[in-house]
C-alpha cells in the first residue's frame, strides 16, 4: 500500500515515526505551520521555525527517502496578538520562494475572535497576492461548526479565492457536507480522542462523494498517531473496499489536490 | 464518480464493530458511575453528555452529526475576545 501524509507536524515527531511511516507505505509528507504548544514571543521565533520547515525538516525526511513539503503561516492560536501577526506575515513572502513550500497554512480560527478573523483575512490576501494554495485549520470541538462557517464566508468574501485550491481541514460529521457543497476540498483528521477516528472517517467517506476528501493524521506533540492514515486504509479493507478505491483515497486524492502546486511532485512519477 | 460502498448486511456490520461499540458503551456507563461516586456538582461537559444520550436512540441516520451540533456554539458572530485558547468539548451555554 502507498499513501500520502498530507498533514503531519513532523518537527514534533521522532525518527522512529519517520521509519514507521515509510514502512507503512508513506510516499510523501506535507507539514503545515502550527502552534508549538506555547506562544512564541517574537517574529524571530517564527523565522527560525520557518527555516526549520523549509530547510532542516526536508533533510531529516530525506534520510528516510521521504519528500517533505510545507505550508507557512502564523497559527490562529497566536493570532490574538495583531502586532506579532503583522511581523510574521511580513516574513512569509521570503520563505514562499523555498522550493518545497506549497502554500499558506494552516490558517483559520481557534476561538472565533475578531482578531483571529482579521489575521485570517490577511493570510487569505497574502495567498491571493502570491497565487498560493490555502490549507485551513478549523476550530476544535464546540467551536468548529461556527468557525467553519465563518471561515468559508471569509474565503468567499475575498472574491478571488478558488474553492478547489483550498482544503478545509479537520471536518467532522456536522461540517463535511457544507464544506464539500461549497466546492472546497475537505480534510478528515484522524485523532485518537478529538476530531475523527479511522472508523468514523470511513463512515463519512461512505456517506459523501469522496472525490475532494483527504485523510491525515495531523500528528504533532499531543495525543496523535502518525500511522492513522494506513489504519484508516486497513478499516476500508476490512469493510470490503477495493485496493483501487483505497489507493484513490489515501494516495490519488492528496496527489490531485497538491499537484495544483507546480512544486509538488507525484512520488509515483518520480520512481 | 465516488467509489460505491460495498454492500453489507447488518450482521456483517455487527461482526466487524459490535465488540468495539460494546466496550465503549460499558466505558461510558463506568464513567457515569464514577461521577456518581465523586463529590461536587455537575459541570457543563457532563450535562452535555447526558443531553446527547437520547439522541443515540433516535431512528434516523445522522446521530453523530446531531450530537456534534448539540454540543456546538450556536452563535454566528465572532466574539470580541476569548478568555482561553482551549475548547472543552461542549458549548458552556448548553442548557
Q: Which pLDDT tens digit goes with each residue over A211-238?
A: 999 999 999 999 999 999 999 999 999 9
From chain B, pick out residues whose CB is under 8 angstroms from the CB of A240.
6, 8
Best CATH choice for the domain A3-270 from the list 2.40.37.10, 3.30.450.40, 3.40.50.720, 3.20.20.140 = 3.20.20.140
- The pLDDT score that the predictor gives to residue B3 is 80
- The pLDDT score that the predictor gives to residue B46 is 97
Domain boundaries, chain A: 3-270
Closest chain A CA to residue B14: A239
- The pLDDT score that the predictor gives to residue A271 is 74
CB contact under 8 A, A240 and B62: no
Instruction: Give the integer Cα–Cα distance in Å for B32 and A265.
Output: 51
Instruction: Give the integer Cα–Cα distance in Å for B67 and A174.
Output: 9
Q: Residue A193 half-sphere exposure, CB side, CA atoms within 13 Å?
A: 6
What's the helix, strand, coil split of chain A in %, to 5?
50, 15, 35
Closest-CA distance, A172 to chain B, in angstroms, reads: 8
Separation in Å, CA B22 to CA A103, A120, B19, B59: 44, 43, 5, 19
- The pLDDT score that the predictor gives to residue A270 is 85
Local structure of A24: helix, strand or coil: helix
CB contact under 8 A, B20 and A114: no
Full strand arrangement of the beta sheet holding A133-137:
A3-5, A26-32, A68-72, A101-108, A133-137, A166-169, A185-189, A213-216
Closest to A145 (Cβ–Cβ): which among B62, B72, B82? B72
pLDDT tens for A62-106 read 999 999 999 999 999 999 999 999 999 999 999 999 999 999 999
pLDDT tens for A233-254 read 999 999 999 999 999 999 999 9
Helix (H), strand (E) at residue A194: none
- The pLDDT score that the predictor gives to residue A200 is 98
Per residue of chain B (95 residues), give pLDDT as tens.
578 899 999 999 999 999 999 999 999 999 999 999 999 998 999 999 999 999 999 999 999 999 999 999 999 999 999 989 999 999 999 98
Q: For A262-267, which contacts have Cβ atoms below 8 Å and span 24 or more sequence positions?
A: A263/A69, A263/A99, A263/A100, A263/A101, A263/A102, A264/A28, A264/A69, A264/A102, A265/A67, A267/A2, A267/A4, A267/A27, A267/A28, A267/A67
Amino acid at each position: 500500500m502507498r499513501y500520502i501524509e498530507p498533514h503531519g507536524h513532523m518537527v514534533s515527531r521522532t525518527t522512529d515515526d519517520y521509519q514507521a511511516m515509510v514502512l507503512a507505505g508513506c510516499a510523501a509528507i506535507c507539514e503545515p505551520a502550527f502552534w508549538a504548544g506555547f506562544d512564541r514571543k517574537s517574529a524571530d521565533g517564527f523565522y527560525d521555525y520557518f527555516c526549520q520547515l523549509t530547510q532542516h525538516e526536508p533533510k531529516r525526511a530525506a534520510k528516510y527517502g521521504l519528500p517533505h513539503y510545507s505550508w507557512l503561516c502564523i497559527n490562529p492560536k497566536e493570532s490574538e496578538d495583531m502586532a506579532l501577526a503583522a511581523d510574521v506575515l511580513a516574513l512569509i513572502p521570503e520563505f514562499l520562494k523555498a522550493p518545497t513550500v506549497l502554500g499558506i497554512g494552516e490558517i483559520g480560527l481557534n476561538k472565533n475572535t475578531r482578531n483571529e478573523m482579521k489575521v485570517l483575512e490577511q493570510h487569505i490576501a497574502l495567498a491571493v497576492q502570491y497565487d498560493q494554495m490555502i490549507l485551513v485549520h478549523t476550530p476544535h470541538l464546540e467551536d468548529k461548526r461556527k468557525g467553519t462557517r465563518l471561515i468559508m464566508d471569509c474565503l468567499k468574501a475575498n472574491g478571488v479565492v478558488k474553492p478547489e485550491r483550498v482544503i478545509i481541514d479537520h471536518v467532522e460529521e456536522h461540517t463535511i457536507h457544507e464544506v464539500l457543497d461549497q466546492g472546497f476540498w475537505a480534510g478528515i483528521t484522524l485523532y485518537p480522542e478529538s476530531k475523527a477516528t479511522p472508523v468514523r472517517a470511513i463512515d463519512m467517506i461512505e456517506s459523501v462523494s469522496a472525490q475532494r476528501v483527504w485523510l491525515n493524521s495531523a500528528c504533532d506533540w499531543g495525543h496523535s498517531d502518525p500511522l492513522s492514515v494506513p489504519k484508516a486504509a486497513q478499516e476500508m479493507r476490512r469493510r470490503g473496499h477495493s485496493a483501487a478505491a483505497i489507493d484513490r483515497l489515501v494516495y490519488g486524492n492528496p496527489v490531485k489536490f497538491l499537484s495544483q502546486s507546480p512544486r509538488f511532485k507525484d512520488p509515483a512519477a518520480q520512481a | 464518480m465516488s467509489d460505491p460502498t460495498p454492500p453489507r448486511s447488518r450482521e456483517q456490520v455487527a461482526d466487524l464493530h459490535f465488540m468495539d461499540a460494546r466496550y465503549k458503551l460499558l466505558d461510558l456507563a463506568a464513567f457515569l458511575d464514577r461521577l456518581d461516586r465523586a463529590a461536587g456538582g455537575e459541570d457543563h461537559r457532563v450535562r452535555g453528555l447526558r443531553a446527547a444520550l437520547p439522541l443515540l436512540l433516535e431512528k434516523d441516520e445522522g446521530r453523530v452529526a446531531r450530537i456534534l451540533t448539540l454540543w456546538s456554539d450556536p452563535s454566528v458572530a465572532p466574539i470580541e475576545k476569548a478568555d482561553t485558547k482551549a475548547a472543552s468539548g461542549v458549548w458552556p451555554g448548553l442548557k
